[in-house]
Amino acid sequence: MPTQKDRSQAIFARLAARYPEPKPALDFRDAWGLLVATVLAAQCTDARVNQVTPVLFARWPTIKDLAKADVADIEAVVHSTGFFRNKAKHLKAAASRIMETYNGSVPRTMAELVTLPGVARKTANIVLGSAFGLNEGIAVDTHVTRIAFRLGLTTSSDAVVIERDLMPLFDRPQWADINHYLVYFGREVCAARKPRCEGCDLADLCPRKGLK
C-alpha cells in the first residue's frame, strides 16, 4: 500500500514533468525585487504586478531610494495593485528596516525576513527559495491551500498548518518547486470553481476532497 509520502512524490514527479522550468510568475532581478513583487501580488494578479514593478524601480532603483520616498508617491505608483495604502506603507517601512538593521541587504533567514513590515512566512519562503536558493519551508497561497486539500495532503485551511503538513511529504530540495507546481496547476487545471478533472494529470492520485 503506497504511503502518503509515496503518493506525494508521485504527484511531484508528474507536475515536474508537466512544468520542467519552475520559477515565480513574478518578474524580478534580485531578492529585493522579488520581495517587493510578492508584497504587491497580495490580492492582485501577477500580470498586473509585472506592469507596476518596472515603473516603481525606474523611479526608486535601490532599497535606499525607496526608504527615502514619500509614501504618497509610492501609493500613486502601486495604486492599481489594490490595498495600495497598506502596500506602500509596508514597502517603505521594509526598505527602511533593511537599511537601518540589515546594512541595506535583504536578510537571508526566515527569522529576519518576517521582521520586515508586510512580510509573513509565505513571502519569506518565496524570497528564500527563489532568490537565495534556500528552502526553509513551503510557501502556501490560495492555490496551494485548495489543491493540497483536494489531493488529501492536508485537512486544514490554515496556512501554517498546511505548510507543516506538506513539509514531511516532500524532500527539502523540492519545497520551492512544489509551490510553483501547485500554483501553475491551480491556474491551468485545478481551478477554484471549475476544476478540469477530466484529463487531469493527477486524476488517479486525487481523492477530490471537497468536490462532488
Q: With contact defined as beta carbons under 8 Å apart, do 107 and 63 qualify?
A: no
Of the residues 92, 122, 165, 177, only one is catalytic, namely 122
169: which 3 cell numbers?
A: 511529504
**What is the per-residue burial (b if ≥16 Cβ within 10 Å, else e) of 123-148?**
bbbbbbbbbbeebbbbbbbebbbbbb
Q: 201 an active-site residue?
A: no
Q: 141 an active-site residue?
A: yes
Of the residues 87, 92, 141, 165, only one is catalytic, namely 141
Block residue for cell numbers 495532503:
153
Q: What's the rounded Cα separation, in Å, for the pair 45 and 157? A: 22
Interior angle at CA 137, CA 133 and CA 140, nearest 5? 110
Answer positive or negative: Cα dihedral of 96, 101, 104, 110: negative
| Residues involved in catalysis | 122, 141
